[in-house]
Amino acid sequence: MRLLVLGRGKTGSLVAELGRARNHEVQVVAARDNDRVKALEQKLRHADVVIDFTVPQAVIENIQACARAGKNMVVGTTGWYGQLEEVGRTVESSGIGFLYGANFSIGMNLMLEIARTGAAAPKYGYLAQIFERHHASKKDAPSGTALTLQGIVREVSQTEPEIISFREGEVVGMHELIFDSPNDTIYLCHDSKSRRGFAEGAVRGAEWLAGKTGFFDFRDIWREL
């Protein structure tokens, strides 16, 4: 398969490395390339699936370019979910396949399922809080994963836990969901040791998406990989 990776940062570079290791042909366009959109449009002609790990400011323009070109797309960039409905309409009208996710780590998606069970805790007098830590160069705060955790608790218990974000050093990504009561405290934590889990999930997601059309959330399909 011919993969086009958008973003030459730490995760994007790892996606390209793993894509080649899985015998795919890989091209890369950096988020800060001069005439980035022009370079993207030229390389789209020779791509089967596009994988985006750029920055929130670039991702909508990238999605629109892929929709115009009729190219399926996997988006691991977060910070743009306020435009999710608009992107859904773009995907539907263009007839492409589109897979997005706040987190492509299998372990994190397992935690999200565990969190759904724990999210009933506020109904029994527990106070919920979310703490998330990422590297100092991460562009969005709170993280997409923290917002997903918050949404799960809100959906299950009709309460909105506070999110506390930290941006420090080279932290890959840590998310803690805490339920506290006068009697005890429940801790749920996922601590990423490297970006490899994100990158591998994105490449496997691209393989899954090949030949499909529609709008998909990684949370709903990861068990099929």
Q: For 106-191, CATH number?
A: 3.30.360.10
Give Rg (Cα) of the chain. Answer: 18
Q: What is the rounded end-to-end Cα distance, in angstroms, of the chain?
A: 16
CA distances from 139 to 50, 77, 80 (A): 21, 10, 11
Which one-letter DSSP state was computed for residue 81?
Answer: G
Catalytic residues: 134, 138
Widest CA span of the chain, in angstroms? 61
| pLDDT surpassing 70 at residue 32 | no
Q: In the chain, pLDDT over 70 holds for what percent of residues?
A: 97
Could you tell me the pLDDT band of residue 36, with boundaries at 50, 70 and 90?
Answer: low
Mean pLDDT confidence for 176-189? 98
User: How far apart (Å, rounded) are the C-alpha atoms in residues 12 and 75?
Assistant: 11
Mean pLDDT confidence for 14-22? 97
Mean pLDDT confidence for 87-105? 97
Phi then psi for residue 90, to 5 deg, are -60, -45
Query: Which pair of structure tokens corresponds to residue 195?
Result: 């970006």
Mean pLDDT confidence for 205-217? 97
pLDDT of residue 149: 98
Mean pLDDT confidence for 151-161? 98
Of 39-43, 87-91, 127-131, 212-216, least confident by mean pLDDT is 39-43
Q: Where are the domains of the chain?
A: 2-104+196-224, 106-191
The rounded mean pLDDT for the chain is 94
Give yes or no for a contact between 15 and 5, defined as CB atoms under 8 angstroms apart: yes
The CATH architecture annotation of domain 2-104+196-224 reads 3-Layer(aba) Sandwich (3.40)
Give yes or no for a contact between 188 and 114, defined as CB atoms under 8 angstroms apart: yes
Describe the strand order of the beta sheet including 2-6 as a list of residue ranges.
25-29, 2-6, 49-52, 72-75, 97-100, 214-217
| pLDDT surpassing 70 at residue 193 | yes
| pLDDT surpassing 90 at residue 104 | yes
Mean pLDDT confidence for 104-127? 97
| pLDDT surpassing 90 at residue 38 | no
